[in-house]
Amino acid sequence: MRCDPPLNTLSLPSSLTPPIAPQRPKKLVAHGHTRVDPFHWLRKVKSTEVLDYLHAENTYAEAMLAPTLPLQETLYAEMLGRIQEADLSVPTKFGAWMYYSRTVQGAQYAVHARKRITPAGWETSPEEILLDENAEAAGKAFYEVGDYEISPSGRFLAWTEDTRGQRSYRLRVRDLLRGKTLKLSHRGVVSLAWAEDEGQRPEDPRPTLFFVTGDAQTKRACRFWRQGPAEAQPTLLFEERDERFNLYVAKTRSTGLLILNSTSHTTSESRILPANQPHGRWRIVAKRRAGVEYEVDHHSDKLFIRTNDLGPNFRLIEAPLADWQPANWIERLPLREDVVLEGVDLYRDWLIATERKRGISQLSITHLASGDTHAIAFSDPAYVVDLEDLPEWEAPILRYTYESMTTPDSIYDYDPLTRQATLLKRQPVLGGFDPAHYISERISAPAADGTMIPVSLVYRKGLIRDGKAPLWLDGYGAYGIVNDPWFSATRLSLLDRGWVFAIAHVRGGGDLGQSWHEAGKLEDKRNSFTDYIACAQTLIQQGFTSQGRILANGGSAGGLLIGAVLNMAPELFGAAILEVPFVDVLTTMLDPSLPLTVGEYEEWGNPARKADYKRILGYSPYDNLAARNYPPMLVEAGMHDNQVMIWEPAKYVAKLRTLKTDTNPLLFLTSLEAGHGGASGRYDALHERARQIAFALAILGPARLPESTLP
């Protein structure tokens, strides 16, 4: 049962004085151009002075938000009340066990477990706990599991863990038969894969473990290792010298091959090795060629290669494993102008192509023996569908997840022979949630150059499009990452208070394929910003909201998007939330010693080149702050963030305080225990979300919904 919130808008204190960071101008010279940075000193994040400043900003923000604390608690209780705290994942078969994870009421993290399959079934078998994240996290302010791999026989577990939020993961290995964690441990592990040689040495039955580690300073995944049971120390097999490239190791579902991928933002190269020959010779499938990306998979005596060698939408080729030279390639799926081939999954009997047409995902399933192909149809105007990674090669049933802005995350088993889907589980949303009370739409906004930009929306049924509703406009638009129309139970707290939630699918993301990405990066990066503005203007024109009633939201590279947009058209927006925002773009990209910088030259450009320098200077949010009115803003950061360094949002806020001509609140909150992704515990994350929504409601308020729409 929903309790209709009061309509009065909370007011934040106006008498409190924000901390003012001292200005110490530093000249930064490049290409004969001089920038003066008054807050460059904030880069010394370990200094007492910087820490004192961050604490002062936190104290100020908390005092400003104090009037919202009752609302925050209401929102937290509301959101917690929608969650089934004690929950169980859908079990997955692997070998002789069914694997699953579960959550316990009151516990922050998941418990990973399994049960043995017996002739009587598996449900009544005793539970074996493999990894209790709560126990591992005890006494730690942050805990996150990265990679998690069970050995082929099921005896060993290898996992990686980050205890500071710095994307620095430590490898740990556990003998599940003996219930002991081995002394084997390595730091900075990014990915790992077991070989298929388990049990060959009775005195140490562990299979060979391959893993990739990152550079200590830049975190770039650049070294590839083999740790065999007879090896006291791991053996370095390969080091990626090109600073644009990162390594990743994996094993094919067929278990036939190990694959080492070396990828930049635009180019890739794969090496393969028979998984049962860990000391064999790794072979390159195709040498890297600038601008050509490809991925490799394996089936019996064939390689399947998804590649963009002929165009940005990718095609699929088949080649004999014995000789995969281009002369022997057979095209299985051609390059298509209107369909993006996003990925390919192989099982013994089936080939599943994940495709995107006009920005909408679809699954195309081919029976390998007959060649028959069909697609799974879905009815929502916009949705997210993902094929689940079932480890069983011979699995007769496929599994996929589906969600939309009105449909919670749902897991289906799909029989490709009968073409019947069976719902296994839908994310429980407690508290009387009914999807029929909400409407999802997909509209288009004309950009300045005529390109139609998709916008996904969701709102409460009965919304009157008179421009009075507040609207939350989410955006990202970078790296070719798709910002899909996902479901959020916490979002209901906005929708039930009369808000509209919208996603601007701007260029720079991968929402309409690789060409969409290309049209919003490098020299075309400004398209991302003007697309977002066009989406806001269209939403106003169509009566969903009005000028000054939009909250702009983006995180990381999405924070760059919002920061740039607020410099270009601040009058459109009534509030903004910037999460770990990448806002000091030029200074960061001029420093190749920082994590990510060199690899991202292909996304933003290299400002060591004058043309790139001038282009980035033209939109970098920090460099383009000016004496103008800005909307109320909440800026959030993580102390241990090594993707967007803490000094970027700190400098941005400090400079903005000296320039903005309004009296609107500018709040800066740093999580002193977390990194780029915010709090790791599920309850802590809910508190952070409650704070964001309370800020939004305090600034823009709720809107009354027609009584007929209330349950």
Active site residues: 556, 641, 676
In whole angstroms, what is the distance from residue 246 CA to residue 619 CA? 28
Count CB neighbours of 315 within 10 A.
Answer: 18
Q: How far is CA 294 from the centre of its chain?
A: 22
Distances (CA, A) of 509 to 219, 367, 521, 584: 24, 32, 9, 20
In whole angstroms, what is the distance from residue 180 CA to residue 187 CA? 19
Q: How far is CA 13 from the centre of its chain?
A: 35
Burial of 596 (0-12, 13-18, 19+ CB in 10 A): middle
Q: Are 166 and 675 in contact (CB under 8 A)?
A: yes
Q: Are 655 and 22 in contact (CB under 8 A)?
A: no
- Please name the amino acid found at residue 141: A
Q: Are 676 and 638 in contact (CB under 8 A)?
A: yes
- Alpha helices, DSSP H only, in 543-659? 557-568, 585-589, 601-604, 610-619, 647-659
- 384 pairs with which residues across the strands? 403
In whole angstroms, what is the distance from residue 353 CA to residue 663 CA? 53
The tokens describing 381, both together, are 């105007």
Count CB neighbours of 374 within 10 A.
Answer: 12
Q: Are 257 and 274 in contact (CB under 8 A)?
A: yes
Going by their DSSP bridges, the two strands 156-162 and 144-150 should be labelled as antiparallel
Q: Convert 235-262 to b/e letters by CB count within 10 Å (16 or more is b).
A: eeebebeebbbbbbbbbbbebbbbbbbb
Burial of 378 (0-12, 13-18, 19+ CB in 10 A): middle
Q: Which of 531, 405, 536 is nearest to 471 (CA)?
A: 536
The tokens describing 685, both together, are 């994350």
DSSP code of residue 523: G
The tokens describing 651, both together, are 């400098």
Distances (CA, A) of 22 to 25, 497, 654: 10, 41, 9
End-to-end CA distance of the chain: 7
Q: Which of 283, 212, 209 is nearest to 248 (CA)?
A: 212
Phi/psi at 55 (5° precision): -65, -40
In whole angstroms, what is the distance from residue 294 CA to residue 268 CA? 6
